[in-house]
Amino acid sequence: MEVKNYLYGYDKLGIIQDTKMFAVSIDSLLLPNFITINKNIKKILDIGCGNAPIPLILSTKTKAKIIGVEIQEKVYELACKSVKINNLEDRIKIINADINIISKELETDSFDIITCNPPFFKVNKESNFNSSDYKTFARHEVALNLEQICKIAKKLLKNNGIIGLVHRPERLIDIIDYMRKNNLEPKKIQFIYPKKGKESNILLIEGRKNGKPGIKILDPIYLNMDDGKYTEQVLNLLK
């Protein structure tokens, strides 16, 4: 069943969700608030945009043109509806396609920023897939993996363009390895913790195409207090 909600912290940004699919996660709220944006940004690509939470939030931070690519038709339709109810059709374009294919048709060196909240889990013989195709595509690297994302970013980003990913800390070495193999120099990292005393379960990382070596480790973010409510740190971030 389709429902209209509002993105947490953005009471003017409506989003269409389907109760049979994933709800918008904190991952998609953190990444657009982490990525480096300046007034010179003209064109942004969000890979695997889902129902468009990242493009919607980015639209509050920049006047740049934003393209979201989503492979699943039903999810793509939700994204289009989300863009429409916010009257952002002139700034956000959603494409229903496999990014591995359409990236070959997109102009080389044409994007200032690429964002992606990709599938987190590698596919192997022990992979435990969800019964829902929507969740399988969202969680497992069946249609898109880290290596492919970095190769696409190498082709599509302008020189010194930015790639921003939200992922899991256990994949950090893989991420850095694939980034550097594709001339994407990691420039800043931030670890997210469910609460103090727990291990980090979310990683934000930004790289620059042909960037100079040198990385910043930002202060950690703690999501929840003991009672389960968001911390002041998160509330301030999402304002």
Per-residue pLDDT of the chain (239 residues; tens, 9 = 90+): 899 999 998 989 999 999 888 788 999 999 999 999 999 999 999 999 999 999 999 999 999 999 999 999 999 999 999 999 999 999 999 999 999 999 999 999 999 999 999 875 454 545 454 445 545 444 434 468 999 999 999 999 999 999 999 999 999 999 999 999 999 999 999 999 999 999 999 999 999 999 999 999 999 999 999 999 999 999 998 87
Residue 50 is assigned to a structural domain of this protein: yes
Tell me how far apart the alpha carbons of residues 38 and 91 are, in angstroms, rounded to a whole number: 17
Cα 128 → chain centroid: 23
What is the domain-level CATH number for residue 99?
A: 3.40.50.150
Residue 189 neighbours by CB distance under 10 Å:
19
Residue 45 is assigned to a structural domain of this protein: yes
Residue 198 is assigned to a structural domain of this protein: no
Number of domains in the chain: 1
Residue 226 neighbours by CB distance under 10 Å:
8
- Domain housing 47: 2-185
Here the contacts of 220-226 (C-beta below 8 Å, separation 24 or greater) are 220/190, 220/191, 220/192, 220/193, 221/30, 221/190, 221/191, 221/192, 221/193, 222/193, 222/194, 222/195, 222/196, 223/26, 223/192, 223/193, 223/194, 223/195, 224/194, 224/195, 225/195, 226/195
Residue 92 is assigned to a structural domain of this protein: yes
Residue 137 is assigned to a structural domain of this protein: yes
Residue 172 is assigned to a structural domain of this protein: yes
The candidate with the shortest Cα–Cα distance to 141, out of 116, 115, 121, is 121
> Is the separation of the CB atoms in 92 and 32 below 8 Å?
no
